[in-house]
Amino acid sequence: MANGEPEQLTLEVPAGTLGALAWGDPSSPLIIAFHGWLDNAASFSRLGAALAGSYRVVAVDLPGHGLSFHRPPGASYELLDYVRDLAPLFDRLAPEGAVLLGHSLGGIIASLLSVAMPERVRALMLVDSLGPLTGDAESFPDQLKRAVDRVRQGSRGRSPHYADIGEAIEARMKGRIPLSRIAAECIVPRSLQRDQQGWQWGTDARLRYPSMHRLEEDEVNAYLAAIAAPTLLIRASHGMTAFKPEWIEHRLPSLANAEVMDVEGSHHCHLDADVEGLAEGCLSWLRGIPSAPLQ
């Protein structure tokens, strides 16, 4: 569409209906993009449009986020559940393979999919993402107790209501992972739903529940070592990986075929940094990968 406006897509997988946004010519090589925790497909509004001259970019709302399905009563949002539910997307969108682009949680999911379906992943681009937070054997009993206690308690109070979208944007800017205004303005509207009292979050409240179980560090390194696809780590100067130097020291060497691109910006650098420069860096890297052809 003109002026960088995305197409609104609905994608069916066995687990339910996924919302998605798409930029670029459908005949171009495909990038499938996965956003971060509590965000949605609009997280790629700027980068998707910037890549659209060379690629078809399809950004998917993860389950429980944006316009995608919520899991049924009694279900949860464990990390590996996303992998199971999103793997069928390749049959629908990319029977011959695609480049995967992921930010934060979306990068973790993309990297796990590249291990589960290596024949379908041509290249992997990770925006400030290098594996999940981990646990260990000693912490597991407490982690399990916390998670089960939270499920038994259910949702804590009513979801806040906002008089208008601007008020919700201000609230999201002050959240657990604060967003810049430009990032919040891109992401927040797609995360809201309206009722008679105003605007409230449409994301599933269970996304905030503790995990029942976390991967251990040796499991993370094992799956990173199993990634065969060429991988680009986009490391933000003020992002999560900058504050986790042990990830760079201990996890990055596990990737057999990886490059690092350093950019100025926050955890949401694909929204509030030099997005045009970031896109050109991604395209330049992709041009050197035979398995990820440019049109």
- Within 8 A by CB and 6+ apart from 12, the residues are 18, 92
Residue 189 domain-assigned (yes or no): no
Pair 62, 82: CB distance under 8 Å: yes
Q: What is the mean pLDDT of residues 284-293?
A: 83
Confidence of residue 132 (pLDDT cuts 50, 70, 90): very high
Share of residues in the chain with pLDDT > 70 (%): 96
Q: Flag whether pLDDT at 3 surpasses 60.
A: no
Q: Flag whether pLDDT at 99 surpasses 70.
A: yes
Q: How far apart are CA 91 and CA 4, in angstroms?
A: 27
pLDDT tens column, 52-81: 999 999 999 999 999 999 999 989 999 999
Residue 292 domain-assigned (yes or no): no
Given this model, what pLDDT does residue 292 score? 64
Residue 170 domain-assigned (yes or no): no
Report the candidate in 154, 237, 155 with the shortest Cα–Cα distance to residue 200.
155
Given this model, what pLDDT does residue 294 score? 56
Q: Flag whether pLDDT at 178 surpasses 90.
A: no
CATH code at position 241: 3.40.50.1820
Confidence of residue 115 (pLDDT cuts 50, 70, 90): very high
DSSP string, 231-292: EEEEEEEESTGGG-HHHHHHTGGG-SSEEEEEEEEETTHHHHS-HHHHHHHHHHHHHT-TTS
Given this model, what pLDDT does residue 159 score? 79
β-pairing verdict for 98-103 and 121-127: parallel
- Mean pLDDT taken over the chain: 93
Q: What is the mean pLDDT of residues 212-229?
A: 96
Given this model, what pLDDT does residue 293 score? 61
Q: Flag whether pLDDT at 262 surpasses 90.
A: yes
- Within 8 A by CB and 6+ apart from 107, the residues are 34, 36, 126, 127, 128, 129, 130
Q: Flag whether pLDDT at 257 surpasses 90.
A: yes
Pair 135, 215: CB distance under 8 Å: yes
54 lies in which domain range?
Answer: 2-135+207-287
Given this model, what pLDDT does residue 289 score? 87
- Within 8 A by CB and 6+ apart from 36, the residues are 43, 103, 104, 105, 106, 107, 129, 267, 268
Residue 153 domain-assigned (yes or no): no
DSSP string, 54-89: T-EEEEEPPTTSTTSPPPPTT----HHHHHHHHTTH
Domain count for the chain: 1
Least confident of 111-115, 157-161, 212-216: 157-161
H or E stretch covering 13? strand 7-13
Confidence of residue 235 (pLDDT cuts 50, 70, 90): very high
Residue 162 domain-assigned (yes or no): no
From residue 129, how far is each of 90, 105, 111, 242, 256 by CA, in Å? Answer: 22, 7, 9, 10, 16
For the record, the structure tokens of 204 come out as: 């599933």
Given this model, what pLDDT does residue 156 score? 67
Q: Flag whether pLDDT at 116 surpasses 70.
A: yes
β-pairing verdict for 16-23 and 7-13: antiparallel
Residue 185 domain-assigned (yes or no): no
Residue 196 domain-assigned (yes or no): no
Instruction: For 64, list phi and psi in degrees, rounded to 5.
Output: 85, -5
Share of residues in the chain with pLDDT > 90 (%): 85
Give 154: exposed, middle or buried? Use CB within 10 Å, 0-12, 13-18, 19+: exposed
Residue 200 domain-assigned (yes or no): no
H or E stretch covering 105? helix 105-116
